[in-house]
Amino acid sequence: MNAGIIGVGHYAPEKVLTNKDLEKMVDTSDEWIRTRTGIEERRIASDDMDTSDMAYEAAVSALEDADMTADDIDMILVATVTPDKPFPSVATMLQERLGARKVAAMDLSAACAGFMYGVITAKQYIETDAYKNVLVVGVEKLSKITDWEDRNTCVLFGDGAGAAVIGPVSEDKGILSFELGADGSGGPHLYQDDTIFMNGREVFKFAVRQMPESSVNVVKKIGLSEQDVDYLIPHQANIRIMEAARQRLGIPEEKMATSVKRYGNTSSASIPIALSEDVKAGKIKDNDLVVLVGFGGGLTWGAVALRWGK
């Protein structure tokens, strides 16, 4: 039995913060942000919308897409570095809010690679027959840990949530291979004290090496080659980093998700938001070979190669 993605959903807060808006807040320019990152605007959650509220909206949408109710869920995993509170977890808040059964629920901390860690964790429970359907959410309210006076970071991030229901699919479909990794020696390059600190250049160097490498590795693991990839969903951090992965795979521009333009970097939410949007836009079709790949603070990384469909 294989585990696959059987429903997707996402939620983005209404408030749009444009590059022009940021020009009034810090010494930056629309031109600098666009050319260095590819970001044009991002969403910012209101004060009364916390991380669990966004997780709930995305989860409801993913359950609907999977044609399921909360009763069908056997485990809840939430990838986030911006929980409402250190504890209880967002996952337990979500369980209560959804009216799910008293199933296992936990948060998972792997920064921007969190959704990849969540999906691959879910896969283990499903393929060992321990659980049938696992709800995996990537959600961040990064605006609450952003230093709005630091132009090195505040122009990059945004808020949002994406969710996927992972469940059993037929033998030739679903997650066919994965790679996960971490390198704690890179921890000082990207962390939170009160607000986010980032050594952009170091993270950039790591990411342009890791994302292409992991993308190729998961494809090679199933005995296929770069040319077989139909669609690439890289972590939406910076278009230049994403381009490095796309060019390494040698796939055309229209075969890569680029929601970074409209949402900025939403950390663990970026991959499931992009996935949900592009599935709903018809860009991903039955039988497509899709690569999801992420990297983040830790440093951490993760990738999967999956055959779309049930």
Residues with active-site annotation: 112, 235, 265
- In the complex with ligand UT7, the residue whose CB is nearer, 54 or 241, is 241
Report the residue number whose CB is nearest to ligand UT7: 200
Q: Which is nearer to ligand UT7, 102 or 201 (CB)?
A: 201
Strands, E assignment, the chain: 2-11, 16-18, 41-43, 75-79, 104-108, 134-141, 159-169, 174-182, 190-192, 196-198, 231-234, 289-296, 300-307
For residues 73 and 132, give the distance between their C-alpha atoms in angstroms, rounded to a whole number. 8
Least distance (Å) between residue 45 CB and ligand UT7: 18
Based on the number of CB atoms within 10 Å of its own CB, is 86 exposed (0-12), middle (13-18) or buried (19 or more)? exposed
86 Cβ contact partners less than 8 Å away, ≥ 6 residues apart: none
- Between 167 and 296, name the residue whose CB sits nearer to ligand UT7: 296
Nearer to ligand UT7, 117 or 131 (CB): 117
- Tell me: cis bond preceding 299? Omega within 30 of 0 counts: yes
SS3 270: helix
Terminal C-alpha separation, the chain: 11
Nearest distance, CB of residue 29 and ligand UT7, angstroms:
6
C-beta of 178: minimal distance to ligand UT7 in Å?
Answer: 19
Among candidates 310, 302, 305, which has minimal Cα distance to 138? Answer: 302
Judged by the rule CB under 6 A, the positions of this chain that interact with ligand UT7 are 28, 32, 36-37, 112, 151-152, 155, 190, 198, 200-201, 203-204, 207, 237-238, 241, 265, 267, 296
Sheet holding 289-296, edge to edge: 174-182, 300-307, 289-296, 231-234
Give the Cα separation of 234 and 104 in Å (integer). 29
Name residue 194's amino acid.
D
Smallest gap from Cβ 208 to ligand UT7, in A, equals 9
Smallest separation, CB 263 to ligand UT7 (Å): 12
- Shortest CB 155 distance to ligand UT7, Å: 4
Q: Indicate the angle between helix axes 239-249 and 30-37, nearest 10 degrees.
A: 30
- By beta-carbon proximity to ligand UT7, the closer residue of 141 and 307 is 141
Q: Exposed, middle or buried: residue 221 (CB in 10 Å: 0-12, 13-18, 19+)?
A: middle
In the complex with ligand UT7, the residue whose CB is nearer, 73 or 161, is 161
